[in-house]
Chains A and B, each alone.
Chain A
Amino acid sequence: MRLLRGLAVFLVGLVGTIILLDFYISQTMLDEVGRTLVEWVTILAALALVLGLINLLRVHGARVAAGRSGWPYSLALLGAVIVTLVIGLGPGSGGANDPALNWIFTYIYAPLNAGVFSLLAFFVASAAYRALRLRSAEGAGLLIAGVIVLLGQIPLGGQLSPALPDARDWLLGVVGAAGARGIIIAAALGAVLTGLRVLFGIDRHYLDKDQ
């Protein structure tokens, strides 16, 4: 088992190192090998979609079979998946651009998806209503910035004062961008550390059975 685990760590480290070197070094053979390995990733990513679908069917199918709480919703989900799959993959289907599939996407999926996401407007409004309060100096700063951005985003703000859109641009482009840079750099450093942990098998060991 240890030998297999060591082999797994070695393979992962080797492949990761090749792709990393390919990013920085321009060399024909390295480019070819790196590109091939990355193309395998896209194939695996497509396969992951299939695995996700299989897992979805398995989990919700088990819920329906066992009659657990929420099984009618699982049954509805399974029905929708099967109908869509049959329309998209069945005989005579036009594939991804099939008219029936497009109808489902345009008149069922898209409006539902947009409707659920539109609920965010109310949650954001409630959060802003609670957060933008004059409780402290920092709160006052947040309040002023929030008001400037809210007014600067709409045409009315520009009509009230040309300074409002400029102030909004300054807040987002200077103050906000400075914070964003810090977050991006920190996230990148975190990604490097996480990547090194994965490459060297420091985190979850490969091939370990679940406990």
Chain B
Amino acid sequence: MSLPRCPRCGTANRVGSLYCNACGERLDAEVSITTCPNCGVNVPAYSLYCHRCGAKLPQAAPIVNPPPPITEGAAGEGEPPAESDVISLDQMAQPVLGAEEAAPAPFAEAAPAALLPETIPGEPAPEATPLLPPAVSLQPAPETPVTPFLRVRPPLGPPAEPVTVPRQGRGGETWRLLLYLALAGAIVVGVLFPRGLSDTTGVVSPDVRALYDAVEALPPGATVVLSFDYEPSTVDEMQPLASAITRHLVQKRAHILAMSLLPQGPALAQTVLEQAARAGSYQYGPDYVNLGFLAGDEAALATLGGNLASAFSSDFVRGQDVSSFAAVQAMPRIGRADLIIDIAAGDVTVRRWVEQVQSRQKVRLAAATSAMATPMTFPYVQSGQLVGLAGGLPAAAQYEQLLGYEGPATRGMTAQSLGHLVLLLAILIANLWLIASPRRSAR
């Protein structure tokens, strides 16, 4: 069974859908396609800029409305369009001859199909469809016929001349290999010799300071909810952050209720909690409890407005009723928490906490995210919905500095610094090469 693909973004949708789940385009819309004169990738004709190389496109054509229904007796209207006017999926998916190999979209290539959940029961799982350019994503299965509502027409006006772009050649591959080797070498050196560039003295971001101050202001015996919403894939960036914050909470003698919206979260949380508990002589039960995994994302967070015991039937460690723990008895409802800290690798989870918990329960919420998610989380700090924000390994190193100890984040800054320097050097060399070669800069 072939899944209908969006003519605009290429996402596979369920059979029978009228609109694309990713971009909202009508699946039966006819989208004119043109080619970028700079890199040769297929782009919708209404685009002003190429989504791959950013070059300005010559002329944007409006979306062609679906053709009017064919009526009997109208001369010529009942005839199928000329074959040359129709571009099949095969033609639309193929890049222009001679175009250089498409650079992999970073997050797309790192998500092999085997890791994607196959959650549509009764149907074969769709192919992995990250948001790649149409030239890469619209590769049909060999047996997939061209369905009528995916018929596309050439752009309005004179057809674009095919652009012949020379292949990248072995020189480009060599540079990429050198870059990879240099990056790997820099990180290995940084890990083996962590004391070189790890001095973070005097550099603390205001948002990290705000998070630190929010924890510092907690009275002894305060109850704090920690949500460990990250997976092992981001553990090297998030675990130091989680460890630093948990250590601070133990120093303040706060009761910690840990939970997670991800199945892998509770195990990661337990590692952090046990480490902090050993350092601060904390006991499981009176001082901290691992409530475990809560399924349902937004819906699960919405249920937290009620009794915690109804949301979590048993804890993660002992499997006993959560209401039997003193730490939970001190805070039966999440609205009574003194502070909630969401430790999340992605901004979507933070947004869910803001929408479902902070806005409804009016509790103080802070976040610790990966560096990748921090830009999308800043608006919530500026609106006052988050009382503090720490993003990435540098923020973890700054937090350790504020606490006065040298932890894994501080030691990791050497490797990160060397990696950044290698990248900057590569960018500098590439631009000097571009400037020095007029022919290359003219392309």
Contacts and interface: CB of A to CB of B under 8 A. Distances in A.
B63 interface: no
A120 interface: yes
A132 B427 contact: yes
Contacts of A123: 104, 106, 109-110
A29 interface: no
Contact of A121 (B183, B310, B371, B397): B183
B14 interface: yes
Contact of A177 (B205, B292, B382): B382
8 contacts: A44-B296, A125-B422, A127-B103, A153-B371, A155-B197, A181-B379, A183-B376, A204-B18
A151 B424 contact: yes
Interface string B8-20: 0000001111110
Interface string A158-172: 110010010001001
Contacts of B19: 194, 197, 202-203
A158 B199 CA distance: 10
Given A45-B296, A97-B316, A106-B267, 7 more contacts: A35-B306, A42-B295, A45-B297, A59-B118, A132-B431, A150-B424, A177-B379
A124 to B, nearest CB: 5
B413 interface: yes
B423 A125 contact: yes
Given A96-B316, A123-B110, A117 B296 contact: no
Contact of A119 (B110, B199, B419): B110
Contacts of A73: 114
Contacts of A181: 379
Interface string B368-406: 000100111111001000000000101001000000000
A184 to B, nearest CB: 6
A5 interface: no
B296 A128 contact: no
Interface in B106-141: 106-107, 109-110, 112, 114-115, 117-121, 123-125
Nearest to A154: B417
Contacts of A51: 119, 121
A132 B244 CA distance: 34
B110 A151 contact: no
A113 to B, nearest CB: 4
Contacts of B422: 125
Closest 8 CB pairs of A and B: A117-B233, A42-B296, A41-B299, A110-B232, A158-B203, A45-B296, A177-B378, A123-B106
Interface of B: 1, 14-19, 21, 24, 54, 103-107, 109-110, 112, 114-115, 117-121, 123-125, 175-176, 179-180, 183-184, 187, 197-200, 202-203, 205-207, 231-236, 263-264, 266-268, 270-271, 292-297, 299-300, 302-303, 305-306, 310-311, 316-317, 319, 351, 360, 371, 374-379, 382, 392, 394, 397, 413, 416-417, 419-424, 426-427, 430-431, 434-435, 441
Contact of B18 (A106, A190, A202): A202
A36 B366 CA distance: 28
Interface of chain B: mostly helix, strand, loop or mixed: helix
B418 to A, nearest CB: 9
Contacts of A42: 294-296, 299-300, 303, 311
Which of under 10, 10 to 19, 20 to 34, or 35 or more describes the interface residues of A?
Answer: 35 or more
Most buried by B among A77, A119, A135, A162: A135
A154 B394 contact: yes
Contacts of B1: 210
A109 B106 CA distance: 22
Interface string A113-145: 110111111111111111011111011000100
Contacts of B24: 190, 193-194
A64 B238 CA distance: 38
A110 B416 contact: no
Contacts of A95: 319
